[in-house]
């Protein structure tokens, strides 16, 4: 007798399988701890990703779950300062003084990287590891370290002593890899959302008074069709309450999805000054919903829990898409509530695809929005 064994895919795996058909035009943001698309700890406390997030702790970085790890970029330093040497994969500093550096000219400004290495020994002082000109960490004890971030200012990965006094270091297992996708970041402690968990379901908690938000500034939805799908609940439905927002002041300069500024307690999809909403989009506080907004060649559609609640024939594409944020971006429209997940797709999304994604996102929240 033959027994067939079947492996049940998780909701995350099922969702990723659907979204991969959109290639690099799909982005997925998931609260949680663990491994997402090959990236350990998709949520981090700090914006450069040195410390994994913890339940009831703050979130400074959320890795785009549709991203992937690129090929290994590091093979050897491209420049060695006085006192530095490299052999057999081991980088050694012998009595190096401040700013004597080992450098690897391998980054592209604006791209996101994960950098890891092991400090075998450190004689004293502080070893600084930097990515570009800004992102970096300071190290005083041996151990294995990882940090992440967008390369900015220059294309170097570099190690240096921060002290004017000479110290020695031994470093190995250096790895530098690009992480594709558009990642959500917040460097300011007071503006970071909080990671929560109830009955195995993770979520991000945003409060308007603290202006909690995560930047996805590199997102560009201009001159294209698009879809935004999110699982959320509101702590307040007064005025504009944006789960996704962006900077801009004129019609079609960004999008906003949440509750409408012009009509209290009603969902809306806005290209600023041009809100799509209806009475069918009424929401109540502390109630989970799956909300979708889509722009297609035939117009806009707003959906709640798998059903259309408003539509029109406005098919005008965004003329720009700057400084998008999860959690809104204005004092009058910061999000006040819970986000279970968010998916953003640039391109054409069919009704069938939209419903499948909505159902998969709902499954991630334990079907909190009900089964549809």
pLDDT value of position 2: 45
Give the closest residue to 216 by CA, choosing from 190, 243, 186, 193: 186
CA distance 353 to 325: 24
Q: Position of tokens 């990287």? A: 113
Is the separation of the CB atoms in 163 and 7 below 8 Å?
A: no
Its CATH architecture, for the domain 11-38+189-364, is Sandwich (2.60)
DSSP string across 7-54: PPPPHHHHHHHHHGGGGGGEEEE---SSEETTEE-SEESSTT--SB--
**Considering the domain 69-179 in this protein, what is its CATH number?**
2.60.120.260
Give the closest residue to 143 by CA, choosing from 39, 51, 43, 32: 51
Per-residue H/E/C for 149-178: EECCCCCEEEEEECCCCCEEEEEEEEEEEE
Tell me 334's DSSP state.
-
Is the separation of the CB atoms in 314 and 252 below 8 Å?
A: no
Domain ranges within the chain, ordered by starting residue: 11-38+189-364, 69-179
pLDDT tens digits in sequence order for the chain, 372 residues long: 444 444 567 777 888 889 999 999 999 999 998 765 455 558 999 988 888 899 999 999 999 999 889 999 999 999 999 999 999 999 999 999 888 888 999 999 888 999 999 999 999 889 999 887 667 889 999 999 988 888 877 788 889 998 889 999 999 999 999 999 999 999 999 999 999 999 889 999 999 989 999 999 889 999 999 999 999 999 988 878 899 987 664 567 778 899 977 678 999 998 766 889 999 999 999 999 999 999 999 999 999 999 999 999 999 998 877 678 999 876 667 899 999 999 999 999 999 999 999 999 999 888 989 999
What's the farthest any 2 CA atoms get from each other in the chain? 74
pLDDT value of position 271: 74
**HSE, side-chain direction, 13 A CA sphere, residue 302:** 26
Q: Position of tokens 């209290």? A: 264
pLDDT value of position 134: 60
Tell me 287's DSSP state.
-
Give 29's strand partners: 342
Burial classification of residue 143, based on how many CB atoms lie within 10 Å of its CB (0-12 exposed, 13-18 middle, 19 or more buried) = exposed
Cα 28–chain centre separation: 8
Give the closest residue to 21 by CA, choosing from 352, 366, 362: 352
In the β-sheet with 79-80, what is the strand arrangement from edge to edge?
A: 79-80, 101-105, 156-161, 127-131, 135-139
């Amino acid at each position: 007798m033959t027994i067939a064994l079947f492996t049940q895919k998780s909701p995350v795996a099922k969702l990723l399988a659907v979204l991969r058909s959109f290639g690099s035009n799909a982005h997925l943001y998931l609260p949680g701890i663990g491994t997402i698309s090959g990236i350990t700890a998709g949520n981090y406390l700090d914006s450069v990703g040195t410390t994994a997030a913890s339940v009831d702790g703050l979130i400074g970085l959320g890795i785009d779950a549709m991203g992937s790890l690129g090929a290994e970029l590091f093979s050897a330093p491209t420049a060695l300062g006085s006192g530095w040497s490299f052999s057999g994969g081991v980088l050694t500093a012998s009595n190096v003084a401040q700013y004597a550096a080992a450098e690897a000219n391998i980054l592209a400004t604006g791209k996101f990287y994960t950098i890891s290495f092991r400090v075998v020994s450190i004689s004293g002082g502080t070893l600084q590891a930097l990515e570009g000109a800004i992102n970096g960490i300071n190290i005083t004890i041996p151990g294995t370290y990882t940090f992440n971030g967008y390369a900015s200012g220059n294309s170097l990965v570099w190690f240096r002593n921060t002290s004017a006094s000479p110290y020695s270091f031994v470093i190995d297992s250096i790895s530098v890899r690009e992480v594709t996708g558009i990642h959500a970041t917040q460097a300011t402690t007071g503006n970071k959302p909080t990671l929560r968990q109830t009955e195995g379901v993770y979520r991000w908690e945003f409060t308007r008074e603290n202006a909690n938000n995560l930047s996805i500034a590199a997102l560009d939805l201009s001159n294209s069709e698009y879809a935004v799908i999110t699982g959320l609940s509101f702590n307040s439905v007064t005025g504009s309450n944006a789960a996704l927002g962006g900077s801009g002041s004129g019609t079609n300069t960004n999008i906003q999805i949440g509750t409408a500024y012009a009509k209290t307690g009603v969902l809306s999809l806005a290209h600023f000054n041009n809100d799509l909403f209806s009475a069918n989009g009424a929401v109540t506080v502390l109630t989970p919903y799956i909300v979708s907004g889509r722009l297609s060649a035939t117009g806009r559609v707003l959906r709640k829990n798998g059903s259309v609640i408003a539509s029109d024939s406005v098919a005008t594409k965004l003329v720009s898409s700057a400084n998008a944020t999860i959690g809104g971006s204005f004092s009058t429209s910061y999000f006040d509530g819970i986000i279970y997940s968010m998916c953003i797709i640039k391109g054409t999304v069919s009704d069938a695809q939209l419903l499948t994604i909505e159902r998969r996102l709902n499954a991630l929240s334990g079907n909190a929005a009900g089964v549809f």
